[in-house]
Structure 1
Amino acid sequence: MIGEAEAPAVPEVDMQRPSVARMYDFFLGGRHNFAADREAAAAALTAMPELPAIVRLNRRFLRRAVVRAHEAGVGQFLDLGCGIPSPGDAREVVRELDPRAPIVGVDVEASAFLHGRCVAEDDPYAGMVLADLTDTGAVLGAPVVRDLIDFDRPVGLLLVAVAHFIPDTERLARALDGYRRALAPGSVLALTHGCRKGGSERIERVRRIYNNTTAPMVMRDEHDIRGFFGDWRLLEPGVSVVGDWMGEEGLDEVAQRAFVVGMSLKIGT
C-alpha cells in the first residue's frame, strides 16, 4: 500500500543540492545518491571521520528499539523521517518480527518518498507519506495512516537520526506533544538526536556542511533532548549518550558520545 492520495505533488529531485537522506544512504553504503551528495559527505567525513560509525550505531539502536517495542506488545509502527530504504531499516526489522505488522514511513524529502513508495508497493502492510513530520495533522490524517494504523492500539513512534534536522525546537516539541496525545496507552517513542558531547569543534564543522544541504542541523544538550519525551515514562536506562544506553563493548569512542538516545512508554489514558 502506498497511500498516494494523501500526498501533495512530489517535488522534483534536485540532484545538484546535497540531500540529507541521500548522504545518510551514502554513509550506509547505499547507491541512491548523486555526486553532490557524495561531495558533501566527503567534506563531512574530512571534518568527522567517525560519521559512518555514528550512522551504523544509530541503525543498531533502531533495531534494538523496534525489537524492544515489539516485545512490549507494540504491533504497528510510524517511522518519522524514515529516509531512503536500506538494509536494517525499520521496515526490514519489523518484517523480521511480524510479516503483517503495519508500518508507515514519513519523510519530507522527495528521494526518500519515491524510494519508500516503490518498496511499499510490494508490501500490503506498509505505507509511505510525503509530509513534514512536524505537521502532525497532515501525518495522522493521511489516508494511508488511517487505513493501516489503529490508534486504539499501541504504536511504535520512531524518530531516529532526524530530530536534529528540525531547528525549531518549539515546533518539534508541539509536534511530539500532538503525537503523544493521539497514541494509545502502551505506545512507545524511540528517539535519537545529535548532541554536543561528541567533540564540539568537529561537530560545528559538520553542522556548517549540513547547513548547505536540504536540512540544516542543530545540536542540542541532553537536558533539552530529554524534554522531547514529555510526560511518558522513560524506559531503562533512560535518556543518555548512545554508548551508555547500548552498553556494548568496543564502540567507537567518538560515536558513542555523538548522539543521545532514549525510549519512553505511554501509561494511563
Structure 2
Amino acid sequence: MTDEHAPRGIDFDKPNAARVYDYLIGGKLNYAIDRMFAEQILAVRPESRDLALLNRRWLRRAVRFGAEQGIRQFLDIGSGMPTVGHVHEVVQAIDATAHVVYVDNEPVAVAHSEIVLKGNDNAEMVQADAEIPADVLEHPTTERLLDFDRPLMVIMAAFIHFVPDSRDPAGLVAAYRDVLAPGSYLALSSGTFEGQGEEVRRAAEMYQKSGTEVVARSKAELAALLDGFELVPPGIVFTPQWRPDDPAEVGAHPELASQLALVARKV
C-alpha cells in the first residue's frame, strides 16, 4: 500500500505493531515505515515471519475449538488487519449465524475490516481503545451483536504483551471477564522470554525503542491473569503445542515459536 493512499490519522513517524504483523504474515496493509522496521526485526530474528504465522494458526484452532463447544459469539480484542482465515471466516464456516465483533484502534485495520465485512450482517468492526473496556462493551455495535447473558469467546491474540504492568493487565482481563456468562472462554497468546535466546530480547528492545511497549511474560505471569477462569488442556503452552491439527506440526523445538498460548473457561 502506498503512503499517499493512507486513511487519515496515520502516524508515519513510527511503525505500528498491527501493520508490522500484517507485513510479516504477507499482508499488504502496511506502509514504508512498517516494512522498514519489520526488515530490521527480520535481520535480528529471521524466523519472525514463521512465528507470526504460527500465532495465526493457533488463533484459528482456538476459535474453531470455541465453535465446537457451542460458542456462537466472538469478541476479538486488538484484532489487527483483516487477513485470510479471519475469525468470522473460521466460525461462520461452522455456523453462518455466528456473531463476531472485532475491536481495534488502528485506522488501517478499521478501514479495511469495514470493507472486508461489508454485507456480512453478523460480523462488524468497532473502532475503540480495548484498554478502555467500557468503550468496547457499551459500543452500539457490540450491544447489538453480542448477548452477554449467553457464553461467548473473548480473543486476545498477541495483544496482552502490549499492555505493561503499569497499565494493569490483570485488571483489564478481569474487566472483560466480569461481563461474561459462565461457560464463556478466553483465548490469549503472548510473547515470552521463556526458552528464548538473546535475539528475542533484542527484538523486544527494538519495539521499545520504536515507541511500542512490549512485555514478554512467563507461564506463571500469564496464569496470574486468569483469576475466575480454568485452563483448558493442554494449559499454557507454545502456540504450535496448543491442540495441533497434526502432531508433526509441533516440531522438535516448539519454544522457537516465542509465543505462549492458552484457552480458559469462565467458571
Q: State TM-score, norm by structure 1.
A: 0.89
CA contact (8 A) 1:57 1:255 kept: no
For residues 1-269 of structure 1, what are the structure 2 equivalents within 5 Å?
12-168=9-165, 171-213=168-210, 215-246=212-243, 248-251=247-250, 253=253, 256-267=256-267
Change (3 A) 1:229 1:177: same
Change (3 A) 1:232 1:221: same
Q: Cα distance, 1:79 vs. partner? A: 0.2
Identity between Structure 1 and Structure 2 (%) = 34
Q: Deviations over 1:32-63 (max 9, x none)?
A: 11111111000001111111111111111111
Structure 2 CA distance, aligned partners of 1:257 and 1:142?
A: 35
Paired AA for residue 266 in structure 2:
K
CA contact (8 A) 1:186 1:265 kept: yes
What's the secondary structure of 1:78's corresponding residue?
strand
Structure 1 CA distance, aligned partners of 2:29 and 2:179?
A: 34
Structure 1 CA distance, aligned partners of 2:199 and 2:118?
A: 41
Structure 2 CA distance, aligned partners of 1:15 and 1:98?
A: 40
CA contact (8 A) 1:51 1:255 kept: no
Structure 2 CA distance, aligned partners of 1:13 and 1:238?
A: 38
Q: Cα distance, 1:12 vs. partner? A: 0.4
Structure 1 CA distance, aligned partners of 2:28 and 2:255?
A: 24
Change (3 A) 1:169 1:246: farther
Structure 2 unpaired stretches of 5+: 1-6
Q: State how many pairs are aligned.
A: 258
CA contact (8 A) 2:23 2:38 kept: yes
Q: Which has the higher contact order (CA 8 A, sep 6+)?
A: 1
Paired AA for residue 264 in structure 1:
A
CA contact (8 A) 1:156 1:189 kept: yes
Q: Which moved more, 1:96-105 or 1:145-154?
A: 96-105
Q: Cα distance, 1:108 vs. partner? A: 2.0
Q: Cα distance, 1:15 vs. partner? A: 3.2
Q: Cα distance, 1:250 vs. partner? A: 4.5
CA contact (8 A) 2:98 2:122 kept: yes
Change (3 A) 1:243 1:86: closer
Q: Deviations over 1:224-266 (max 9, x none)?
A: 0112222211111111223433453244636545111111111
CA contact (8 A) 2:51 2:257 kept: no
- Calculate the aligned-residue CA RMSD, in Å: 1.9
Q: Cα distance, 1:170 vs. partner? A: 5.1
CA contact (8 A) 2:182 2:266 kept: yes
Q: Cα distance, 1:184 vs. partner? A: 0.7
Q: State TM-score, norm by structure 2.
A: 0.90
Q: Which moved more, 1:147-156 or 1:14-23?
A: 14-23
Structure 1 CA distance, aligned partners of 2:117 and 2:25?
A: 21
